[in-house]
Amino acid sequence: MNFELDDDTQLLQRTVRDFAVQEIKPIAEELDRTKAFPYELVSKMGELGWMGIPFPEEHGGAGGTSLQYAIAVEELTRIDSSVAITMCAHTSLGTQPVYLFGSDDQKQRLMPDLAAGRKLGAFGLTEPEAGSDAGNTKTRATLDGGVWTINGAKQFITNAGTDISGHVAVTALTGDGEISNLIVENGTAGYEQGEPYRKMGWNASDTRPLTFTDCQVPEENLLGPRGAGFKQFLHVLDIGRIGVSAMGIGLAQGALDEALAYAKERRAFGQPISKFQAIQAKLADISSRLEAARLLTYKAAVLKDLGKNFTLTAAQAKLESGRLAVRATEEAVQIHGGYGYIEEYPVCRFYRDAKILTIGEGTDEVQQMVIARALGA
């Protein structure tokens, strides 16, 4: 068991960390405040190859590993969650279905732009009545004369409404009890993106509802075999949990960094508050839980790279890292005192960004269910 990262992975980690500090940190507060999508940053990350890290070079990707991808997501989230989720959702949810289940023609047509970040991919799973009960899909697609006609609605979809959004992979009923995935490209008649949600956090990311009204796409836009949609999206969600787990540990690390720096600077009763045991206990607890969650997340990524089953470990990592992010950001705000409640301090944004990590990509309750089932309960 080797806990050392190889040279290539260490280089990527340092490079992403430097980029986050130098390029993202100076504008993160403004992006959040103005709810401005980070087009320029996405473009730069695409040029650096980070929008397609885990995909083979033959498809335009960087040929990296799942572990390298997770570490890149972690480093971005240490500074800003909106930028991180844009890359994370694009890679894990938007591009993975095309890479995993797409035909040769679909891959040739879509993968180069997706892997380079020139186009963003989205995943249309969640509906008003199909959240945790993801199989309760109401969106329908009927096939007639070589054309699929789609009718329905999706909600809480990331990356579908930007100027560079390319497609959404939509889950739909294609028969009685039969769920399939279909590719719907932006600009298709009958496919509309609603106004962005007013959110608690992730304010610089794109999240909005989608509607499909007699939306027609060619028969060849079916993603993988007909009726395989349920199995497909469960696998995609497993992969997505690695990325979101990386966001959790990245956010917790960012909160710890800010809390420690502030505690060493802030003085009370004649000494830095970092010298008080009450503050030290908070920092120690966050640090210890963070290391455990990081190891779980990295293990899930490595298991995926080895071709082994990672469903259990990814769910465990997601459960622990999300809860940790909420706790760590709360404690970071507490250590900052009144300043932690002021938007000029990053921990205020971190606190708002954290809560979704216990909801998105499967709620904590769903993770517990997945874990219990994997244990044989």
How many CA atoms are closer than 13 Å to the CA of 279, on its beta-carbon side? 23
User: What is the signed CA dihedral for 109, 182, 73, 300, rounded to 10 degrees?
Assistant: -110
d(C-alpha 298, C-alpha 294), whole Å? 6
Calculate the alpha carbon distances from 301 to 64, 124, 187, 239, 327 in Å.
12, 24, 35, 9, 24
Q: Point out the residues of the chain with pLDDT beneath 70.
A: none
Residue 1: its pLDDT value, please? 78
Concerning whether 57 is annotated as a catalytic residue, the answer is no
Span 135-170, pLDDT tens digits: 899 999 999 999 999 999 999 999 999 999 999 999
Span 279-296, pLDDT tens digits: 999 999 999 999 999 999
DSSP-derived pairing of the beta strands 207-218 and 222-223: unpaired
- Report the phi/psi class of residue 296: left, alpha or beta, with left for phi > 0 and alpha for psi in -120 to 50: alpha
Say if CB 131 and CB 271 are below 8 A apart: no
Fold of 7-115: Butyryl-Coa Dehydrogenase, subunit A; domain 1 (1.10.540)
Residue 131: its pLDDT value, please? 84
Q: Give which of 32, 30, 28 is closest to 20, Cα–Cα.
A: 28
Fold of 233-375: Butyryl-CoA Dehydrogenase, subunit A; domain 3 (1.20.140)
Selected catalytic residue, list 127, 258, 330, 361: 361
Residue 134: its pLDDT value, please? 82
In CATH terms, the superfamily for domain 121-229 is Butyryl-CoA Dehydrogenase, subunit A, domain 2 (2.40.110.10)
Domain spans, the chain: 7-115, 121-229, 233-375
